[in-house]
């Protein structure tokens, strides 16, 4: 088990496309790290760079304290001592289950007698003891992925790399393998890097999550940190499905361009109760600046238009129309059209109907003081 | 609570409602077979049946009848007597030996080229990939003529050796020459088959081996080559059958040294007037070859094929490092000796007035070309070949498109048989096809006419169109046709308007390949030829046999150039379409 240290790592593809840029990251010993991002964000490029299938065009990479890639250093993948699980398992069809799992040991020069014992032990760990002599074609998808996992950990690798390892599996099975994977890596104290586009999987499995976009790291943090303290609007929208409201920050108070956007007032009339301002705060008295507020679906309450209290002080607030309401595990995932802004809200306790008019009440927001609200543009 | 009930027929609805409550009775199995029967009835009424019946009738006539006649004639006791003849036994042995030896060589060369040209970073890969295929684009008998020109007694090689004072006459004639030339002309096919198999190996299987600690050569040995085994075997079987049936090379290279194979033996039986009725003996030999070919084809179909799921990851790159330049030089020498120099020797012979005259600008002449191309014999050959090849291309395109449509659209229990009937003839030696047509020609009243050659061509080449159309058809989603159905088209109409229309370019490509293959064909036409129906191949062969090397080379050079340019252009166009 070892650490993986990346220093200013970059990769430019042959066609000039920038795959990775300025990656500084340290995977701690025994840590389960998830790389999360939309397709094309560079998460697979980063994993393949760690594996050694891609050579970085800039920066350094060290595994277990040994530099494996730098300007003048190159260690090929077979000499890095890693284990890897591929999306479509990549089980060799011409070898038996035991042949597949024992292959890395054979290459490491482990005596035949010890190989069989070790293979048996690992197969027991993944629950495939009685399948040792089967051909891979006789196995189900989940069993093949378990063989791939056994093959990846059999030689006690420095780190375990998982490339969308569970994405090809069907849902209930995927959830079960997710648990098994977590238990196995804990038990063995494995350093693991897991690439996924599934947010729930990344947040559920990982000790820390790295959010990538356009080849750059957006944020590194525990799942809780990502949800509660996103550092920019991309992380807020990608991880939490937040809705963005561009606006202006004056004297520490956020004023949205949207006519209906209001943050709750405290008893003493302080305007922006519930808003967390991220980025350098403007000095009091300094001139106003553009900013973006991100509101995640769980931070909004909806009031049905009919039930509205006449005394409520909301002059001129436009109502929002429900465009769809999908039933989900945590409530109705409701989409609103609120004066031209498409907004996502999680509704509990009542059933929104398509076409209902509602008033969104924002309870919390993250305000990013150095963003203009234009997609993908960040001052920082 | 939302209702999940999807529109289902009467009785099933109750079950569905119960299922929502959680206590579902097992759904009655009744509706399932009903639906199946209904669908079958609909399919029979849909007009596809008419297409299927039509295709079957044509195939029964074109493929079934000749093979049946051959089998019936071949098992007669008087026919079997031919195997007592020691000459036949020797020819059979020579055929097997030369075909097996050359197929082994071709597979080895093909595998080496596939790995190097597909996976390594050897410089000038693109040009080399095309150049190594050159022997594939030239008919084998023209290749044999080129090597005869190169290694003839007065040819450039032996002359140079003489000038250097080396008294070693190199000769291409004899058994070894036959094996060598068969290998030269079949390795491109082995290369194409193996390269395709190599591309189907998912790259992540190799990556998994590398991350497990295997270096490049170890990955090749323990993962890539074992996975390539079915492809290697397929390449071996294909080249074996092709070489077993070749006529031009053993006739031109083997016969002068009395090295007889089954094809040249049959030719001698049919051409010589000494044997009173050669048909029984010829049928017996044909039947033997038929059985051999069917066994190999069936054995190969039994093998696990390319059932691996392809993946996005490309295969492992083979870094040659310091070996890069030596490997490139070796490949260029290969290409030079095997592919280019024989063609130059042929051109040399075609453009010089007589063998042995030094090659200078003043001596070059188009006299050979103009003389032969305008001679009545050659002109008739060119005309006949164009007519026959054009007719065969037309028939094969229509028939092949029909067969491919039936095979890819709808599952009928006769599809397996249809597949075999349409594609088996391609694996059959040309000799078998020719003898089959020779046997049925008198009954059909087309004996000694061009029709018998046309029939044999269609039988032999229809598989080219089927194969060309099948892959693109299979990738056309059936929902395109279903959309036409919902728009009001009958099944046959939808098939013709949507699927057939989409497959038409591929069918056309297949037709062009048939045209280019048939126009320079020799093996079939030389056995079926009659006065007035001689083809271009037969014309060239006869010129060569009569010693007019200049004239023969002139025509051969034209055929070779047309083949190289035509097939390269067709392949380039087809590839461009695939890329789109």
Q: If you measure CA to CA, which chain B residue comes closest to A327? A: B2
**Cβ atoms within 10 Å of B33's Cβ, excluding its own:** 9
Distance between B137 CA and the closest CA of chain A, angstroms: 35
Collapsed DSSP state (helix, strand, coil) of residue B523:
helix
User: Could you give the angle at the alpha carbon of A376 between the alpha carbons of A375 and A377, nearest 5°?
Assistant: 95
Cβ contacts of A81 on chain B, cutoff 8 Å:
213
Cβ contacts of B311 on chain A, cutoff 8 Å:
88, 90
Q: Indicate yes or no: CB of A81 within 8 angstroms of CB of B213.
A: yes
Residues A86 and A113 in one domain: yes
Q: If you measure CA to CA, which chain A residue comes closest to B207? A: A53
Angstrom distances, CA of residue B2 to CA of A327, B5, B17, B21, B559: 10, 9, 12, 12, 73
| Residue in the structure block whose two tokens are 């008198």 | B442
Residues A238 and A220 in one domain: no
For residue A198, give the nearest of A177, A225, A215 by alpha carbon: A177
Contacts of B352 (CB under 8 A, 6+ apart): B359, B363, B364, B365, B368, B550
Residues A269 and A146 in one domain: no
Tell me the mean pLDDT in the region B296-310: 59
> What is the model's pLDDT at position A46?
94
Cβ contacts of B309 on chain A, cutoff 8 Å:
88
Q: Indicate yes or no: CB of B227 within 8 angstroms of CB of A93.
A: yes
Domain limits for position A292: 233-379
Q: If you measure CA to CA, which chain A residue comes closest to B216? A: A78
Residues A216 and A308 in one domain: no
Rg (C-alpha) for chain B, rounded Å, is 28
Q: Could you give the number of structural domains in chain A?
A: 2
Nearest to A107 among B214, B229, B311 (CB): B214
Of the listed ranges B30-44, B188-202, B292-306, the one predicted with least confidence: B30-44
Distance between B215 CA and the closest CA of chain A, angstroms: 6
The rounded distance, in Å, linking the Cα atoms of A162 and A79 is 18
For residues B430 and B312, the model is more confident at B430
CATH of domain B50-82+366-580: 1.10.3720.10
Judge whether residue B316 has pLDDT over 80: no
B85-357: CATH topology: MetI-like fold (1.10.3720)
Chains A & B: contacts with CB separation below 8 Å? 70
Would you say the pTM of this structure is higher than 0.80? no
Residues A52 and A126 in one domain: yes
Q: If you measure CA to CA, which chain A residue comes closest to B230? A: A94
Q: How many residues does chain B have?
A: 580
Nearest to B205 among A90, A108, A327 (CB): A90
Q: Indicate yes or no: CB of A107 within 8 angstroms of CB of B205.
A: no
Residues A84 and A211 in one domain: yes
For residue B539, give the nearest of B523, B526, B557, B558 by alpha carbon: B526
Q: Indicate yes or no: CB of B205 within 8 angstroms of CB of A92.
A: yes
Cβ contacts of B207 on chain A, cutoff 8 Å:
51, 53, 77, 84, 86, 90
End residue of a domain, out of A228, A258, A284: A228
Q: Indicate yes or no: CB of B211 within 8 angstroms of CB of A51.
A: yes
| A55 in contact with chain B, both atoms CB, cutoff 8 A | no
For residues B227 and B156, the model is more confident at B227
The rounded distance, in Å, linking the Cα atoms of B526 and B434 is 9
**Which of A48, A82, A91, A92 best probes binding to B when mutated, by most B CB atoms within 10 angstroms?**
A92
> What is the model's pLDDT at position A62?
94
Ranges of each domain in chain B: 50-82+366-580, 85-357
Nearest to A78 among B2, B204, B214 (CB): B214
User: Could you give the angle at the alpha carbon of B13 between the alpha carbons of B12 and B17, nearest 5°?
Assistant: 120
> What is the model's pLDDT at position A177?
86
**Which of B3, B200, B213, B218 best probes binding to A when mutated, by most A CB atoms within 10 angstroms?**
B213
For residue B149, give the nearest of B116, B181, B106, B189 by alpha carbon: B181
Residues A258 and A133 in one domain: no
Q: Indicate yes or no: CB of B309 within 8 angstroms of CB of A84.
A: no
Contact A81, A158 (CB under 8 A): yes
Contacts of B185 (CB under 8 A, 6+ apart): B135, B136, B138, B140, B143, B246, B249
The rounded distance, in Å, linking the Cα atoms of A336 and A362 is 13
Angstrom distances, CA of residue A102 to CA of A112, A132, A203, B470: 9, 10, 33, 41
The rounded distance, in Å, linking the Cα atoms of B517 and B162 is 39
Residues A333 and A193 in one domain: no
Cβ contacts of B215 on chain A, cutoff 8 Å:
76, 78
Cβ contacts of B211 on chain A, cutoff 8 Å:
51-52, 77-78, 80, 82-84, 152, 161
Q: What is the DSSP letter of B318?
A: B
Q: Indicate yes or no: CB of A88 within 8 angstroms of CB of B2.
A: no
Q: Do the strands A159-163 and A192-196 form a parallel or antiparallel pair, or are they unpaired?
A: parallel
What mean pLDDT value characterizes chain B? Answer: 81
End residue of a domain, out of A197, A228, A259: A228
> What is the model's pLDDT at position B391?
94
Q: What is the pLDDT of residues B116-166, one digit of tens each?
A: 998 888 888 888 888 888 888 888 999 998 898 888 777 778 888 888 877
Cβ contacts of A82 on chain B, cutoff 8 Å:
211
Q: If you measure CA to CA, which chain B residue comes closest to A157? A: B212
Q: Indicate yes or no: CB of A76 within 8 angstroms of CB of B215.
A: yes
Nearest to B211 among A82, A94, A108 (CB): A82
Share of chain B above pLDDT 90, in %: 18
Q: If you measure CA to CA, which chain A residue comes closest to B316? A: A53
Judge whether residue B273 has pLDDT over 80: no
Distance between B116 CA and the closest CA of chain A, angstroms: 20
Cβ contacts of B202 on chain A, cutoff 8 Å:
88, 90
Residues A269 and A286 in one domain: yes
| A36 in contact with chain B, both atoms CB, cutoff 8 A | no
For residues B578 and B62, the model is more confident at B62
Q: If you measure CA to CA, which chain A residue comes closest to B206? A: A90
For residues B312 and A303, the model is more confident at A303
Contact A34, A223 (CB under 8 A): no
Nearest to B311 among A88, A94, A155 (CB): A88
Show the DSSP H helices in B335-449 as ranges: 341-351, 367-374, 376-408, 415-427, 430-444
End residue of a domain, out of A182, A212, A228: A228
Nearest to A84 among B211, B223, B309 (CB): B211
Residues of chain A with pLDDT under 70: 1, 265-274, 279-287, 306-316, 372-380
Cβ contacts of A93 on chain B, cutoff 8 Å:
227, 308
Residues A188 and A63 in one domain: yes
Q: What is the pLDDT of residues B506-563, one digit of tens each?
A: 888 889 889 988 888 888 888 888 888 888 888 888 888 888 888 888 888 888 888 8
B contact set with A (CB within 8 A): 2, 202, 204-205, 207-215, 218, 222-223, 226-227, 229, 308-309, 311
Q: Indicate yes or no: CB of B2 within 8 angstroms of CB of A76.
A: no
Nearest to B212 among A52, A76, A107 (CB): A107
Distance between A342 CA and the closest CA of chain B, angstroms: 25
**CATH (domain of A57):** 3.40.50.300
ipTM: 0.75
Tell me the mean pLDDT in the region B3-27: 37
Judge whether residue B1 has pLDDT over 50: no
Q: Indicate yes or no: CB of A108 within 8 angstroms of CB of B213.
A: yes
| Residue in the structure block whose two tokens are 């594939």 | B136
């Amino acid at each position: 088990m070892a650490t993986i240290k990346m220093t200013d790592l970059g990769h430019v593809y042959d066609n000039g496309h920038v795959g990775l840029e300025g990656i500084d990251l340290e995977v701690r010993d025994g840590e389960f790290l998830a790389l999360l991002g939309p397709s094309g964000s560079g998460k697979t490029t980063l994993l393949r760079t760690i594996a050694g299938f891609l050579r970085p065009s800039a920066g350094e990479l060290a595994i277990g304290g040994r530099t494996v890639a730098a300007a003048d250093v190159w260690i090929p993948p077979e000499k890095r001592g890693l284990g890897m699980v591929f999306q479509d398992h990549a089980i060799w069809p011409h070898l038996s289950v035991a042949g597949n799992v024992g292959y890395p040991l054979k290459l490491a020069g482990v005596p035949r007698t010890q190989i069989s014992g070790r293979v048996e032990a690992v197969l027991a760990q993944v629950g495939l003891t009685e399948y040792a002599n089967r051909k891979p074609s006789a196995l189900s998808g989940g069993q093949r992925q378990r063989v791939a996992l056994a093959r990846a950990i059999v030689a006690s690798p420095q780190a375990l790399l998982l490339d969308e390892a569970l994405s090809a599996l069907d849902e209930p099975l995927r959830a079960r393998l997710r648990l098994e994977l977590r238990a196995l890596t804990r038990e063995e104290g494995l350093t693991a890097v897991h690439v996924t586009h599934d947010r729930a999987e990344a947040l559920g499995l990982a000790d820390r999550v790295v959010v990538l976009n356009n080849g750059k790291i957006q944020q590194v943090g525990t799942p809780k940190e990502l949800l509660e303290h996103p550092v920019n609007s991309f992380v807020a929208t990608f991880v939490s499905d937040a809705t963005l409201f561009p606006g202006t920050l004056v004297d520490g108070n956020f004023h949205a361009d949207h006519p209906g956007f209001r943050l709750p007032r405290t008893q003493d009339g302080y305007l922006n109760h519930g808003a967390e301002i991220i980025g350098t705060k403007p000095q009091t008295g300094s001139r106003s600046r553009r900013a973006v507020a991100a509101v995640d679906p769980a931070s909004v309450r909806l009031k049905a238009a009919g039930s509205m209290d006449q005394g409520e002080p909301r002059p001129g607030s436009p109502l929002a129309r429900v465009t769809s309401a999908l039933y989900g595990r945590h409530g109705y995932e409701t989409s609103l059209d609120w004066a031209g802004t498409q907004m996502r809200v999680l509704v509990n306790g009542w059933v929104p109907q398509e076409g209902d008019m509602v008033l969104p009440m924002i309870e919390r927001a993250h305000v990013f003081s150095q963003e203009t609200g234009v997609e993908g543009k960040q001052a920082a | 609570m939302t209702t999940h009930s999807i529109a289902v027929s009467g009785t099933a609805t109750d079950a569905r409602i119960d299922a929502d409550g959680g206590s579902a009775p097992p759904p009655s199995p009744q509706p399932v077979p009903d639906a199946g029967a209904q669908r079958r009835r609909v399919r029979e009424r849909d007009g596809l049946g008419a297409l299927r019946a039509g295709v079957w009738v044509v195939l029964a006539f074109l493929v079934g009848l000749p093979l049946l006649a051959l089998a019936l004639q071949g098992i007669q006791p008087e026919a079997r007597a031919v195997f007592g003849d020691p000459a036949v036994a020797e020819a059979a042995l020579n055929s097997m030996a030369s075909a097996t030896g050359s197929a082994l060589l071709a597979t080895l060369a093909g595998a080496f080229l596939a790995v190097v040209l597909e996976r390594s970073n050897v410089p000038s890969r693109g040009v080399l990939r095309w150049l190594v295929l050159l022997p594939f684009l030239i008919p084998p008998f023209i290749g044999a003529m080129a090597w005869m020109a190169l290694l003839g007694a007065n040819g450039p090689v032996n002359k140079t050796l003489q000038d250097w004072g080396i008294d070693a006459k190199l000769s291409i004639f004899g058994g070894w020459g036959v094996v060598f030339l068969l290998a030269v002309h079949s390795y491109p096919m082995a290369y194409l088959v193996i390269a395709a198999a190599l591309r189907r190996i998912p790259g992540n299987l190799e990556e998994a081996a590398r991350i497990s600690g295997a270096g490049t050569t170890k990955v090749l040995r323990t993962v890539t080559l074992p996975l390539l085994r079915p492809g290697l075997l397929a390449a071996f079987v294909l080249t074996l059958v092709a070489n077993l049936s070749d006529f031009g090379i053993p006739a031109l290279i083997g016969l002068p040294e009395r090295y007889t194979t089954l094809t040249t033996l049959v030719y001698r039986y049919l051409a010589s007037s000494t044997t009173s009725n050669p048909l029984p003996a010829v049928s017996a030999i044909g039947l033997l070859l038929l059985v051999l070919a069917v066994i190999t084809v069936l054995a190969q179909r039994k093998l696990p094929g390319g059932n691996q799921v392809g993946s996005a990851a490309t295969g492992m790159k083979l870094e040659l490092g310091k070996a890069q330049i030596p490997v490139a030089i070796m490949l260029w020498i290969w290409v030079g000796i095997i592919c280019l120099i024989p063609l130059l020797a042929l051109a040399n012979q075609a453009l010089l007035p007589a063998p042995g005259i030094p090659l200078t600008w003043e001596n070059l002449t188009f006299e050979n070309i103009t003389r032969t191309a305008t001679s009545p014999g050659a002109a008739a050959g060119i005309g006949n070949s164009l007519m026959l090849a054009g007719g065969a291309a037309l028939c094969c395109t229509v028939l092949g498109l029909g067969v491919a449509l039936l095979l890819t659209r709808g599952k009928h229990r006769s599809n397996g048989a249809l597949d075999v009937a349409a594609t088996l003839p391609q694996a059959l030696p040309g000799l078998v096809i020719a003898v089959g047509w020779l046997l049925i020609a008198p009954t059909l009243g087309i004996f000694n006419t061009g029709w018998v050659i046309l029939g044999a061509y269609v039988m032999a080449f229809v598989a080219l169109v089927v194969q060309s159309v099948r892959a693109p058809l299979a990738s056309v989603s059936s929902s395109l046709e279903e959309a036409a159905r919902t728009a009001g088209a009958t099944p046959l109409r939808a098939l013709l308007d949507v699927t057939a229309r989409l497959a038409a370019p591929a069918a056309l490509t297949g037709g062009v390949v048939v045209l280019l293959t048939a126009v320079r064909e020799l093996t079939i036409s030389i056995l079926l030829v009659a006065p007035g129906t001689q083809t271009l191949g037969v014309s060239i062969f006869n010129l060569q046999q009569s010693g007019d090397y200049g004239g023969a080379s002139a025509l051969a050079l034209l055929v070779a150039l047309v083949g190289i340019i035509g097939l390269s252009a067709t392949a380039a166009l087809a590839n461009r379409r695939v890329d789109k």
